[in-house]
Amino acid sequence: VKMFDRRTGLEMLDRDTCLELLAAEQVGRLAIGGSGAPVLMPVNYALDGETVVFRTDPGTKLERAGRWGRAAFEIDSFDREARTGWSVVVTGRLEEVTRHDAATLQRVTRLPLFPWAPGEKHHWLRLVPTQITGRRVGGPAR
Amino acid sequence: VKMFDRRTGLEMLDRDTCLELLAAEQVGRLAIGGSGAPVLMPVNYALDGETVVFRTDPGTKLERAGRWGRAAFEIDSFDREARTGWSVVVTGRLEEVTRHDAATLQRVTRLPLFPWAPGEKHHWLRLVPTQITGRRVGGPAR
């Protein structure tokens, strides 16, 4: 059964499909609010249950931005020739995983999360989802 | 001459390279600030000079979000096997192109901008850049 968003006409992906797609990808884009324009950047990530985990270094934009709290994370894949694709957006609270949460820190440091960018990246951040949504665009229905 | 960001160690793309990449792509991700988490979504776009142009419908998330002002837009391409890629981020002011700016409206309605999603999308928005930055990750230098 396909679900469609009445407002946009786009097919909605169910939560399980969103989580499968999140588990399969390695790079997404993180948007972090604050005063002025959002900070927006691609990041390597891994999934810890339903939580999105990132690594960062002290002093970087992501590390500084991580203190701001609310964030959104997106993955997608598009076929330019077919004009089709899908996207998943996770919205939630961005927080650092510190030694005060030893069990979580131990778990996330064991994730297969190896950033492509240089730097030790010994800080772990996670986005705890309040909402996970997915959409598909194009395809046979059109 | 390659430039590197001292904070992240990433190679920086110069402005001309960023604009060439922006001219070549068709899909990016738009992040719009406001209260709470940013709105983040993939969008079809076209370039009008150095301005990023989108189409939308009344009542959609993008149309409503467009009233908020400050936004960031990102394009990227990554090679998962090689662990390399690039991204370009445009930060600026998101505004609707209205009939009050007839010359701009006429110009943007002639852009080759054909959204893949359903809907008439007779509203044009544009992101007027205050900053355009690009980064490359991975590659021979590593």
Residues 6+ apart with CB under 8 A from A125: A53, A54, A55, A56, A62, A63, A66, A94, A95, A96, A97
Amino acid (one-letter) located at B55: R
Q: How far is A24 from chain B (nearest CA, A)?
A: 12
Q: What is the mean pLDDT of residues B48-68?
A: 82
Q: Do B36 and A33 touch (CB under 8 A)?
A: yes
pLDDT value at B126 more than 80: yes
Q: Pick the residue of A41, A44, A76, A136 with the most B CBs within 10 A to test the interface with B by mutation.
A: A41
pLDDT value at B85 more than 80: yes
Among A1-5, A41-45, B34-38, name the most confident range.
Answer: A41-45
Within 10 angstroms of residue A13's Cβ, the number of other Cβ atoms is 21
pLDDT value at A101 more than 90: yes
Whole-number pLDDT of residue A42: 96
CA pair distance B18, B129, nearest whole angstrom: 12
Chain A residues lying within 8 Å of B55, measured CB to CB: none
H-helix or E-strand containing A24? helix A15-24
- B65 vs A43: which has the higher pLDDT: A43
Query: What is the value of ipTM here, to two decimals?
Result: 0.92
Residues A66-96: tens digit of each pLDDT: 666 889 999 999 999 999 999 999 999 999 9
State which residue of chain A sits closest to B78, comparing Cα positions: A27
Name the interface residues of A facing B (CB cutoff 8 Å): 7-10, 26-27, 29, 31-34, 36-42, 57, 59-61, 70-74, 76, 78, 80, 83-85, 87, 89, 91-92, 116-119, 130, 137-138, 142
CA pair distance B68, B14, nearest whole angstrom: 29
What DSSP letter does each residue of B77-127 carry, written as one string? Answer: EEETTTTEEEEEEEEEEEEEE-GGGHHHHHHHHTS----SSSS---EEEEE
Q: Pick the residue of A6, A12, A26, A40 with the most B CBs within 10 A to test the interface with B by mutation.
A: A40
Whole-number pLDDT of residue B23: 97
pTM for the full predicted model:
0.93
Residues A17-30: tens digit of each pLDDT: 999 999 999 999 99
Of A63, A69, A55, nearest to A26 (Cα)? A55
Buried b (16+ CB within 10 A) or exposed e, B71-86: bbbbbbebeeeebbbb
Q: Do A37 and B117 touch (CB under 8 A)?
A: no
As a whole-number percent, the residues of chain A with pLDDT over 90 amount to 65
Q: Indicate the pLDDT class of residue B142, thresholds 50, 70 and 90.
A: very low
Q: Do B38 and A70 touch (CB under 8 A)?
A: yes
Q: Contact A23/A136 with Cβ under 8 angstroms? A: no
Q: What is the mean pLDDT of residues A128-141?
A: 87
State which residue of chain A sits closest to B139, comparing Cα positions: A116
pLDDT value at B26 more than 80: yes
Whole-number pLDDT of residue A142: 39
Q: Do B40 and A33 touch (CB under 8 A)?
A: no
pLDDT value at B138 more than 70: yes
- A119 vs A47: which has the higher pLDDT: A47
